[in-house]
Structure 1
Amino acid sequence: MSQLRVGAAQRVFIYPTRDVFFACLYPLKGVLYFVAHPFLYPLVRARLLPAILLSTFVLMNLFFFTYLPQVAFLALFHRTGSAWVNGTFLVLGEGAAITAILFECFLVDESQVDIFDAVLVHKGYEDLVKQYRPVSEDSLNNPVLRLGKPTKSSVYGPFSLRQIVEFVVLLPLSFVPYVGIPLFLLLTGYRAGPLQHWRYFKLRDFDRKQRNAFAKTRRWQYTWYGAIYLALQLIPVLSMFFLMTAAASSALWAADLETQRRRQEASVFEAARYTDNPEGNAV
Structure 2
Amino acid sequence: MSQSPWAAAQRVFIRPTRNVLYACMYPFKGVLFFIGHPFLYPLLRARLIPAFLLSAFVLLNLFFWAYLPQVAFLALFHRAGSAWVNGTFLVLGEGAAIVAILFEAFLVDESQVDAFDAVLVYKGYDDLVQPFRPVSEDSLNNPVERLGKPIRSSVYGPFSFRQIAEFVILLPLNFVPYVGVPMFLLLTGYRAGPLQHWRYFNLREFDRKQRNAFARRRRWEYTWYGAVYLLLQLVPVLSMVFLLTAAVSSALWAADLETERRQQEARVVQPSEYTDDPEG
Query: TM-score when scaled to structure 2?
Result: 0.96
Matching residue's letter, 1:63: F
* Secondary structure at the counterpart of residue 145 of structure 2: helix
Q: For residues 2 and 211 of structure 1, what CA distance do their matches in structure 2 show?
A: 33
Deviations 1:1-52 (A, max 9, x none): 9971110100000000000000000000000000000000011102111101
Aligned counterparts, 1:1-283, within 5 A: 4-270=4-270, 273-274=271-272, 279=276
Worse-superposed segment, 129-138 or 25-34: 129-138
Deviations 1:116-150 (A, max 9, x none): 00000000001000010000014122100000000
Structure having the higher helix fraction is 1
Q: For residues 50 and 148 of structure 1, what CA distance do their matches in structure 2 show?
A: 25
Q: CA deviation at 1:278?
A: 5.9
Worse-superposed segment, 6-15 or 168-177: 168-177
> Matched residue pairs, number?
277
Q: CA deviation at 1:107?
A: 1.0
The answer to whether the Cα contact below 8 Å between 2:94 and 2:168 also exists between their aligned partners in 1 is no
* Secondary structure at the counterpart of residue 139 of structure 2: helix
Q: For residues 276 and 228 of structure 2, what CA distance do their matches in structure 1 show?
A: 52
Q: For residues 78 and 184 of structure 1, what CA distance do their matches in structure 2 show?
A: 17
Q: For residues 248 and 138 of structure 2, what CA distance do their matches in structure 1 show?
A: 20
Q: CA deviation at 1:80?
A: 3.0
* Secondary structure at the counterpart of residue 139 of structure 1: coil
Q: CA deviation at 1:162?
A: 1.1
Q: For residues 240 and 11 of structure 1, what CA distance do their matches in structure 2 show?
A: 38
* Secondary structure at the counterpart of residue 43 of structure 1: helix
Q: CA deviation at 1:100?
A: 1.5
Q: For residues 107 and 168 of structure 1, what CA distance do their matches in structure 2 show?
A: 21
Q: CA RMSD in A?
A: 1.6
Q: For residues 126 and 183 of structure 2, what CA distance do their matches in structure 1 show?
A: 38
Q: For residues 279 and 227 of structure 1, what CA distance do their matches in structure 2 show?
A: 55
Q: List, as ranges, runs of 4+ consecutive aligned residues in structure 1 with deviation greater than 2 Å.
A: 277-280
* Secondary structure at the counterpart of residue 104 of structure 2: helix
Query: TM-score when scaled to structure 1?
Result: 0.95
Q: Quote the sequence identity (%).
A: 78
